[in-house]
């Protein structure tokens, strides 16, 4: 009995303490968790491990913890498709290069998808001062042709839109991009030969590629020239006759059309494979037929004199190449007007 009385006395004094501790713990559990910063979201998500490493390498971690920002976030698969197979491939680049690429994915303001008007190619300025082009339609939400696969993930200092491609900034026009891109040495040689033998014709063509705003150019790769044209070597272009130069100029001019047409726009043009669309050449107003295979996700083009031979738009980093005045898509066949 004595022990029982002692237990009751102890319980009388300790009971309120247990109740207080219970209430404190409940209060802690009921506290809403504070949202993470943009940097912390990527650190804690394995799907963004390459992006997180890139942010650290570029010393942008602190910058992505403050302000009110929007970031278009490439997944690990997006980095891999762009040639960055792993974290080591990112850190092999200089911090300045990676910083410029990452800043091109960030807007200075918070832009949820509901605030974006429906339409094509809304121009917005990225953190590095270069324009991004946002499209929102019934077919989806895109930036520079990259699809937003998950929109509006909130962070304490902004919003995240996940994308399936890495965006690459450029301050070069179409003509300058051709000159510096190793996939287009045959096209570059053709432009130089045209200027050499026919300065007026060459200047007109080059001026079109350098100054015309909002154009799309379908450029045959070097392999396309080797396998689908009469010019199978660089030498055959560099030594082309005056007559052949005129032919070359006519052919190259046929590959440019009006407006910035990213791959998602080209797909929509053909009603997802149920019909064929068409584009009008900027240079000679000839038609280019466009088709889309919804199964293989392949966009194809056919020139007026290509017969049944289709030119395919090459995927990955070879399509949706943004330039200062337009967009470039590499193709695997020369289009014939």
Cα maximum dimension of the chain: 120
- Angstrom CA distances, 216 to 48, 158, 187, 254, stand at 32, 33, 15, 11
Cβ(302)–Cβ(310) under 8 Å? yes
Residue 269: the pLDDT is 80
What is the model's pLDDT at position 14? 47
Helix (H) or strand (E) holding 12: helix 2-30
Radius of gyration of the chain, Cα coordinates, nearest whole angstrom: 28
Average pLDDT over residues 15-25: 47
- Residue ranges covered by each domain of the chain: 38-163, 174-331
**What residues have CB less than 8 Å from 274, skipping those under 6 apart?**
none
Residue 297 pLDDT level (bands cut at 50, 70, 90): confident
Contact 39, 65 (CB under 8 A): yes
CA distance 176 to 226: 23
8 Å CB contact between 160 and 41: yes
Q: Answer yes or no: is pLDDT of 160 > 80.
A: yes
Q: How confident is the model at residue 12 (pLDDT cuts 50, 70, 90)?
A: low
pLDDT value, residue 167 = 96
The pLDDT, as a whole number, for residue 163 is: 97
The full length of the chain comes to: 337
Q: How confident is the model at residue 4 (pLDDT cuts 50, 70, 90)?
A: very low
Q: For 169-189, give one letter per residue: b (16+ CB within 10 A) or e.
A: bbebbbbbbbbebebbbbbbb
**Res 73 pLDDT > 50:** yes
Other C-beta atoms closer than 10 Å to the C-beta of 143 total: 25
Instruction: State the DSSP string of 272-288.
Output: GGTS-EEEEBTTT--EE
Mean pLDDT, to the nearest integer, of 50-55? 97
- The predicted-structure confidence for 215-255, as pLDDT tens digits, reads as follows 999 999 999 999 998 899 999 999 999 999 999 999 999 99
Sheet holding 215-220: strands in order across? 256-258, 215-220, 326-331, 321-322
Task: Quickly name the fold that domain 174-331 has.
Answer: FAS1 domain (2.30.180)
Residue 144 has pLDDT above 80, yes or no: yes
Specify the pLDDT at position 34.
64
Read off the pLDDT band of 24 (50, 70, 90): very low
Query: What's residue 268's pLDDT?
Result: 84
Residue 183: pLDDT band (50, 70, 90) is very high
- Check pLDDT > 80 for residue 27: no
pLDDT in tens, 252-267: 999 999 999 999 999 8
Other CB atoms within 10 A of residue 267 CB: 21
pLDDT at 18 over 50: no
Q: Which residues pair with 206 in a beta bridge?
A: none
CB atoms within 10 A of CB 306: 18
pLDDT of residue 23: 44
What is each CA distance from 169 to 51, 210, 239, 261, in whole angstroms?
17, 17, 35, 17
What lies within 8 Å, CB to CB, of 217 at 6+ separation is 174, 209, 255, 256, 257, 326, 327, 328, 329
Residue 44: pLDDT band (50, 70, 90) is confident
The CATH number of domain 38-163 is 2.30.180.10: yes
């Amino acid at each position: 009995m004595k022990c029982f009385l002692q237990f009751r006395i102890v319980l009388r004094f300790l009971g309120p303490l247990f109740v207080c501790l219970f209430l404190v713990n409940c209060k802690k559990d009921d506290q809403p968790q504070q949202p993470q910063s943009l940097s912390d979201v990527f650190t804690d998500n394995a799907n963004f491990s390459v992006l997180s490493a890139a942010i650290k390498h570029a010393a942008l971690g602190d910058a992505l913890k403050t302000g009110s920002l929007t970031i278009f976030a490439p997944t690990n698969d997006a980095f891999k498709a762009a040639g960055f197979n792993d974290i080591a491939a990112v850190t092999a680049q200089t911090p300045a290069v990676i910083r410029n690429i990452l800043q091109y994915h960030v807007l200075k303001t918070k832009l949820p998808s509901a605030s974006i008007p429906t339409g094509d190619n809304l121009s917005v300025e990225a953190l590095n001062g270069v324009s991004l082009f946002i499209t929102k339609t019934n077919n989806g939400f895109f930036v520079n042709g990259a699809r937003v696969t998950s929109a509006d993930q909130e962070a304490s200092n902004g919003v995240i839109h996940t994308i399936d491609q890495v965006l690459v900034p450029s301050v070069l026009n179409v003509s300058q991009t051709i000159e510096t891109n190793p996939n287009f040495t045959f096209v570059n040689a053709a432009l130089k030969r045209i200027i050499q033998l026919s300065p007026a014709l060459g200047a007109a063509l080059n001026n079109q590629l350098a100054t015309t705003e909002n154009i799309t150019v379908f450029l045959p790769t070097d392999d396309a020239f080797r396998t689908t044209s009469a010019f199978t070597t660089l030498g055959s272009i560099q030594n082309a006759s005056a007559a052949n130069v005129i032919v070359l100029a006519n052919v190259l001019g046929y590959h440019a059309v009006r407006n910035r047409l990213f791959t998602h726009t080209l797909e929509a043009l053909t009603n997802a494979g149920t019909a064929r669309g068409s584009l009008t050449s900027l240079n000679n107003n000839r038609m280019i037929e466009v088709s889309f295979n919804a199964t293989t996700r392949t966009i194809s083009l056919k020139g007026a004199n290509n017969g049944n031979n289709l030119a395919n738009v090459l995927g990955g980093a070879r399509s949706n190449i943004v330039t200062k005045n337009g967009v470039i898509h590499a193709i695997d066949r020369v289009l014939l007007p």
